[in-house]
Every structure is written in C-alpha cells, then in structure tokens.
Amino acid sequence: MKLATFALATPLGEQRRLGVVTGEGMIDATAARIAWQERRLPAAAAARIGAAEVPPDMLALIEMGEAGLALVAEAVAAVQGHGQDMTAGGIAIRHDMAALRLLAPVPRPPGVANFSCWPAHQKAGAERGSSLKPAEEGSGILPYWKGNPDSYVGTGSTLRPPPYSDGSDIDIECEFVAIVGPGGRDLTGEAARRAIIGYTIVNDGSARSRQMLEMKSGRGPAKGKDFDGGNMMGPWIVTRDEMPDIHAQRLSLVCNGEELSSAGSDEMSWDFEDMLAYLSSGQSIQPGHVLSAGCYHKGCGFDLGRRWLPGDLIELRVSGIGALVCIIGA
C-alpha cells in the first residue's frame, strides 16, 4: 500500500487524515474501516470501533505494525469492491487527489537518524572542504547525525532560505529513507527487517555556507540544516511488502524536467536493517523513526557544482515510490 497523511479544507480549517493512495484517488483509511464495521454494527458503534482500529494518525497506525496494515487493507478492499463513497454517518471515503494537500507522511517523526551510505558523496564533500571523515574500515561504526524532526513538510512545498542565508547557497539532497514501524530495542537480523514498515523519500534542505562553517568544528551540521520547512518527506510511504528488493531502486534528481543525475540503491554501503540494528543497540526506537541512507553522489547541487534559482522545480525520485516535489523559494 501507499500510506499518506493528507489535509482537507473544511469550514473549521484544514483537517488531517490518514489515507491510502489508489488508482481511483485517495481513500480515507479510517472512513473505510468505519464503513467496514457498518456492515455488522449500528453507525454510531461502527464509528467508534472503526476509528479505534484505524486511527486517523500515521504514528498510531504504524505502531500496530502488520496487524494495523491488515485492518486497513481489508477495509480498502471492501469499499473498492462495493464502490462505496460515504459512510452511513456521512464521512467521505474517497477523495480526488487534486482536492487535498499531501503532508509529510509522518508529520513529526519521533527521531531522525541520517546515515551516509554513499562513499562517493562523502569523498565529494571532503574535496569541497568538509572536515568530516568516514569511519575506519572494520571499526563497526556506522556514523549518523540526528536530524530535526520539527522541520518536516510535504511534497510540493517551497524550500525557503533561512534568514542567515541570501538564498544562493540553498541546496537539496535526494535521500532514500526507511520508516520504523512498531520499533523496539536491540533489534538484529529478521527482527530489524520486520520492524521497518516501509519506505519514502526525504529532501534534506541545506544552507551550505553555514553548514560548511559549522562542520569545521568536527561536530557536523547544525543551523546549516535546522530551519523551518528544511526537510520534505513524501509523497507517501510504500509499505515493505510492495518493495521487497530495496537494492533494485533507481534514484534520480530532476530539475525543471531535466534529469541531472541518478544512482542505483545497490550502491548503498549498508541495508536499512543494518542501520536500525546499529541505532537500536541499547536504545528503544519509537514508531515513525526516520532512517535515512543519506544523499547519493550527485543527488544534490553541492556535488553537481550547481546553484538552484528561485522557481526551480525539483523532483527527487525513487523508482518504487514516486517523486517528492520541491520548489526553490526566493
């Protein structure tokens, strides 16, 4: 399934909902479950139980793991089979994609771990003045830095420079990421793999001038990557069962319709379960934690020697997921 968090305009303001993207548009997952319960229960009871089984919140759903996904899949199949558009209580089940706004699938992750799984990107950074070095081979260290969970927005958003940037150094990064489902501690092997609910795309926005100054301290980026709207996620989460081979994905960067670079996910240094096993050692990882493989080589303007201009339409693509769209702001 393709799981999304979306916003609908209402007289009382935007309402945030959980949805499943289909060929027929967006299906409200909670409304679909309520409709499924209405087949056996009075409308009021069905509304209570359906919303408890499939809450309209991504974190609450993925915390349930595969059991939660099964409830959603059962309900979506039922409403599709019956062609049902509305619950008995008057909640819309189907929505045209043009009538809604996609938010970050996990609007506020509990944590973000940015790994660097592309050696060529690290090398390019070093050549341009980054003082951070990869871990020594055989050390068992998988370096990562902690991202800002408060800065996530959805596809189609405008990336605006922070006040300490004149905009000329604003950059994007195409990152393939995994989303943790039920979570856990000291996860290894198959347990780590099954703890991943699915995959999405992240744009790790950067103010490069500030970032390069900060990285001379040897502590990694700070305000160079910490600003409102600096991280985009989406357009949705593709569940693990629909992407059985993460090594067969093609990542690409497109600007104003022109493909500027691409890479294969088989070039990654570590699998996502390796990252989760390392991260969860001695630490309880919560549902919705973001595991990023980092930017692939030439998946950003920094590696390409290119500056973005206001109005540039950037698409960050992963073949099994789709495209995360970003507009460069003034």
**Tens digit of pLDDT for each residue in 202-252?**
999 999 999 989 888 877 789 999 999 999 999 999 999 999 899 999 999
The mean per-residue pLDDT over the stretch 6-28 comes to 94
Domain end, chosen from 102, 120, 154, is at 102
pLDDT averaged over the chain? Answer: 94
Place 129 in a pLDDT band, splitting at 50, 70 and 90: low
- Indicate if 18 and 48 belong to the same structural domain: yes
User: Does residue 276 have a pLDDT over 60?
Assistant: yes
The last residue of a domain, from among 102, 123, 155: 102
As given in the structure block, the two tokens for residue 76 are: 């979506």
Which domain does 295 fall in, by range? 112-328
Q: Residue 94 belongs to a domain with what CATH number? A: 2.30.30
Please tell me the predicted confidence (pLDDT) of residue 125: 62
- Please give the tally of structural domains in the chain: 2
b/e string for 187-207 if b means 16 or more Cβ within 10 A? beeeebbbbbbbbbbbbbbbb
Query: Are 84 and 35 within 8 A, CB to CB?
Result: yes
The verdict on residue 317 lying in a domain is: yes
DSSP annotation string for 232-280: EEEEEEEEGGG-S-GGG-EEEEEETTEEEEEEEGGG-SS-HHHHHHHHT
Asked whether residue 145 is assigned to any structural domain, the reply reads yes
Bridge partners of 324, per DSSP, are 316
Tokens of 11: 């007289």
Would you state the pLDDT for residue 217? 80
Residue 171 corresponds to which tokens in the numbers above? 């950059």
Domain membership flag for residue 116? yes
Specify whether 253 is located in the same domain as 321: yes
- Burial of residue 256 (number of CB atoms within 10 Å: 0-12, 13-18, 19+): exposed
**Pseudo-torsion of CA 151, 54, 317, 80, nearest 10°?**
-150
